[in-house]
Amino acid sequence: MWVGIDDTDSLHGGCTTYIATEIVKEICNAGYDIIGYPRLVRLNPNIPWKTRGNGAIALQIGVGGGKRELIGEIEEKVYGCAYKKRDARADEIISILDKIMKNAEGGANPAWVVTEKKFSRKLYSKAVKEIVSVKEVKRTLAETRAKWKTYRKEIGLIGASAAIAWKPLNRTYELLTYTHGEKFIEKESVIKMDTLFPSTFNNYDYENDYIALLPHSPSPVFYGIRGGDVGELKKAMEMLETSEVERWIIYETNQATDEHLQRKKIEEVKPYESVIVKGKVEKEPFTIEGGHVIFSISNGAEIDCAAYEPTKGFRNIIKELKKGDEVVVYGGVRAKPFTINIEKIEVKKLVDVYKKVENPICKKCKKHMKSIGKGKGYKCPKCGAKAGENEAKYVKIERKIKPRFYEVPVIARRHLAKPLGDRVIYQL
Ligand SMILES: [Zn+2]
């Protein structure tokens, strides 16, 4: 049996995962097991009416068998089982869900879905890349005879159903901790953990001196450690010097998988998608109010790309682009202004850039000629002889960027974006 939950937490980011720990606790107390790991599934990050995180939860529940693994501590220890021996009773699970979701504080539009039959991966795929309507989700729910309930608006059904539909092709894990008390974390221990556990990622931003384990909004979430090797997460947690952790749980997630991205041609790009597009730099980078850096790429059709202020030092890389450079841009598409918000960029080919160092010299008078105007050529001040623009002396300037990938710093990284380098190991 699969359970999906979402509370489209518009005010209290991270609430959904806390509610999930309550559900896990009650389900285990009722004598059932979690099969595999609980799943934290991130969906389309560009939908404006959702929160930054846009995550929903899926759990497989039953009476389990096989190897039991410690997957968390919520008052008592929680174990995940290798496989399902027997299904859970739907009415028991539903009464647990209803009791917890009804009383959930802060959740904007909570919803749960319970189904014996797993949904097609296509639903997940669409929900992570495009826009899914409540209507199409309800069709899937009816076809599979799933049970569901919403508490206020029905929008939470989308996340709850899409989370169930996720079938991991790639996966990473996140160990999330919770507390209602003090939230103290010692920076040095985060750096040490980051160094000693190279399978973990997005822990600390060295460039911006920023601890990326901490959530952005007030919620019971204390910190989260993301990693490709699930076996290292608990050890990594134990290394951190922090105030007291009340509970922790490991989620299997689609974070850092790049599953939101679609390869597209510039003319095919639509708002709210995340795309990979190729083009040549058309408008050279310029900085607008707020410190955002904008440029455009073209293949005939043209689109603006942006490195927003929160991407910090990444903007200095972007500013080095010149007209004609060939690039592949990875990022989410904003509707207004219609722009690709860059997550990473591959510089494929750099054009040669020349700088004028000397005006042409008149062959007769041996004097430097003067410019007549930008792009109009030169004229000898003495005899009036003319020379073309290209007769001046130019030197090729060294480009500061190279043909390679560049990405936004950890501080600006999105949940779904796969970091460059070899830190993300997918464990299959
Ligand atoms: Zn002359």
Same domain flag for 126 and 9: yes
User: Does residue 345 belong to any structural domain of this protein?
Assistant: yes
Residues with CB under 5 A from ligand 1 (ion): 362, 364-365, 380, 382-383, 385
Residues 73 and 191 in one domain: no
From the number of C-beta atoms within 10 Å of its C-beta (0-12, 13-18, 19+), residue 288 rates as exposed
What would the pLDDT profile of 142-190 be if each residue is shown by its tens digit? 999 999 999 888 989 999 999 999 999 999 999 999 999 999 999 999 9
Closest by CA position to 22, among listed 83, 72, 90: 72
Kindly indicate the confidence band of residue 11, based on its pLDDT and cuts at 50, 70 and 90.
low
Q: Is residue 142 part of a domain?
A: yes
Question: In this predicted model, what pLDDT tens digit does every residue of 383-425 receive, in sequence order?
Answer: 999 999 999 999 999 999 999 999 999 999 999 999 998 777 6
CA 366 to ligand 1 centroid distance, Å: 7
- Predicted confidence (pLDDT) per residue in 41-71, tens digit: 999 999 876 655 688 999 999 999 999 999 9
Q: Are 132 and 249 part of one and the same domain?
A: no
- Asked whether 156 and 9 are in contact (CB, 8 A), the reply is no
Per-residue pLDDT at 106: 61
Of the candidates 65, 51, 61, the one whose C-alpha atom is nearest the C-alpha of residue 12 is: 51
- 40 and 151 co-located in one domain: yes
Rounded-to-integer distance, Cα 192 and Cα 271, Å: 41
256-265 residue pLDDT tens = 999 999 999 9
Tell me the pLDDT band of 105, cut-offs 50, 70 and 90.
low
276 with 364, same domain: the answer is no
397: CA distance to ligand 1 center in Å? 29
pLDDT of 295-331, one tens digit each?
A: 999 999 999 999 999 999 999 999 999 999 999 999 9
CA of 355 to the centre of ligand 1 (A): 24
105: its two tokens: 């504080």
Q: Which of 2, 36, 33, 1 is nearest to 251 (CA)?
A: 36
Residue 369 and residue 340 in one domain = no
Q: Check whether residue 58 and residue 90 sit in a common domain.
A: yes
Say yes or no: 329 and 222 in one domain: no
- Number of domains into which the chain is organized: 4
Compute the distance from residue 415 Cα to the ligand 1 centre, in Å: 65
CATH number (domain holding residue 340): 2.40.50.1010
Cα 378 to averaged position of ligand 1 atoms, centre (Å): 11
